[in-house]
């Protein structure tokens, strides 16, 4: 297994997840790869070949966040990795976690975001046309749109989900988002057992805040997927608890929705739940169902007990205290 701790809170939360996975008894040979702001600046390389070589060998990785400089600096490592390994599907399950106080105490939120992971405005094609006028290119292709739509519908069918809603802005971006939506419609025809709906992204944002319990699978291009992921994380208690997977044909890299959270890095207070739940997804991907269930149940039990909750969800437990509580239950 390739383990990329990343930077910011990455090393703290990935260590927590690694300890919890090891506690399940599944024997994993962790290949630790350093990839963070410091190594990138030192090597002057966003994605050093040894990282790709490790992932090409192991096929599966658990990754912490890597800081992306804002308005300048080197390009996003996270985006570069997704592109390099063609990890086209970003899958982010967002569930109510009993024991976490939210504004939605009376409803159960259980939705999954399927975010196209390789193109859209993340293509990184920007240039200054003339001074003070810049252009960013939004790339949408039939191939990538069909691929993520097919992944979402296939997942929905295999996992007993009922509905896929494509989220777009095709009323304005008639060509680019129009193509995305046409690909979703075309795919939906092959899945008559799954209900298909469409929502314009602004309306989807409002509906998600008003009636989050109504949503099932959400299919969207890259940028809306990024923004709506954080919105939905906010519905269930914040970024500390929402996991994710980047899946391609040959590789899968599991990572939380959150970033490197520099504001709390190094303090030992980050919530490791999101990376732990990403590791649960990883165990399922590896076919380790029993261990995945045990780890998942231990995490949810700690929340229900309410004695060792991290600060971001209203508790006072440190990263290590929360992790130890999870490990005690895994081993019970």
- For CA atoms 203, 188, 179, 248, give the dihedral sign: positive
The answer to whether residue 169 is catalytic is: yes
Q: Is 113 in the site for ligand ATP (CB under 6 A)?
A: no
User: How far is 161 from 194, CA to CA, in rounded Å?
Assistant: 8
The answer to whether residue 143 is catalytic is: no
Q: Is 75 in the site for ligand ATP (CB under 6 A)?
A: no
Interface pattern 28-67 for ligand ATP (x via CB under 6 A): -------------------------------------x--
Q: Which residues contact 208 (CB under 8 A, 6 or more apart)?
A: 215, 228, 231, 232, 235
User: How far is 331 from 328, CA to CA, in rounded Å?
Assistant: 5
User: How far is 146 from 158, CA to CA, in rounded Å?
Assistant: 18
Q: Which of 143, 202, 214, 305 is catalytic?
A: 202
Residue of 113, 117, 164 lying closest to 141 (CA atoms):
117
Quick one: DSSP state of residue 310? B
The answer to whether residue 297 is catalytic is: no
Q: Is 301 in the site for ligand ATP (CB under 6 A)?
A: no
Q: CB nearer to ligand ATP: give 194 or 270.
A: 270
Q: Which of 63, 83, 151, 169 is catalytic?
A: 169
Q: Which of 7, 177, 226, 312 is catalytic?
A: 226
Residues 237-256 within binding reach of ligand ATP (CB under 6 A): 239-240
Please tell me the total number of residues recorded for the chain in this structure.
332
Q: Is 99 in the site for ligand ATP (CB under 6 A)?
A: no
Q: At what angle do helices 142-158 and 176-188 cross, to 10 degrees?
A: 40
The answer to whether residue 202 is catalytic is: yes
Q: Is 92 in the site for ligand ATP (CB under 6 A)?
A: no
Cite the active site residues.
122, 169, 202, 226
Site residues, ligand ATP (CB under 6 A): 9, 13, 65, 68, 230, 239-240, 258-261, 263-264, 270-271, 274, 312
């Amino acid at each position: 297994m390739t383990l990329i701790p990343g930077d910011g809170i990455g090393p703290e939360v990935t260590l927590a997840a690694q300890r919890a996975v090891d506690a399940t008894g599944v024997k994993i040979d962790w290949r630790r790869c350093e990839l963070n702001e410091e190594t990138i600046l030192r090597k002057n390389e966003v994605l050093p070949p040894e990282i790709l070589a490790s992932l090409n060998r192991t096929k599966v990785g658990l990754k912490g966040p890597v800081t992306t400089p804002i308005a300048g600096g080197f390009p996003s490592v996270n985006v570069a990795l997704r592109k390099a390994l063609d990890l086209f599907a970003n899958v982010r399950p967002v569930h109510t976690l009993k024991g976490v106080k939210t504004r939605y105490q009376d409803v159960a939120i259980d939705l999954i975001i399927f975010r196209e992971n390789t193109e859209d405005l993340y293509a990184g094609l920007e240039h200054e046309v003339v001074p003070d006028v810049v252009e960013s290119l939004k790339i949408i292709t039939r191939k990538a749109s069909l691929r993520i739509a097919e992944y979402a519908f296939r997942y929905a069918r295999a996992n007993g989900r009922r509905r896929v809603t494509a989220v777009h802005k095709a009323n304005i971006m008639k060509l680019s988002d129009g193509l995305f939506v046409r690909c979703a419609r075309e795919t939906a025809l092959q899945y008559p057992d799954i209900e298909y709906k469409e929502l314009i992204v602004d309306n989807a944002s409002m509906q998600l805040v008003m009636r989050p319990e109504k949503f099932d699978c959400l299919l969207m291009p890259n940028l809306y997927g990024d923004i709506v992921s954080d919105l939905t994380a906010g519905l269930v208690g914040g970024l500390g608890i929402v996991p994710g997977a980047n899946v391609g044909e040959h590789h899968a890299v599991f990572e939380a929705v959150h970033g490197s959270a520099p504001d709390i890095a190094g303090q030992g207070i980050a919530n490791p739940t999101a990376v732990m739940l990403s590791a649960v997804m990883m165990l399922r991907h590896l076919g380790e169902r029993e261990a995945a269930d045990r780890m998942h149940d231990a995490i949810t039990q700690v929340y229900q007990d309410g004695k060792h909750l991290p600060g971001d969800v209203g508790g006072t437990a440190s990263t290590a205290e929360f992790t130890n509580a999870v490990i005690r239950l895994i081993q019970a």
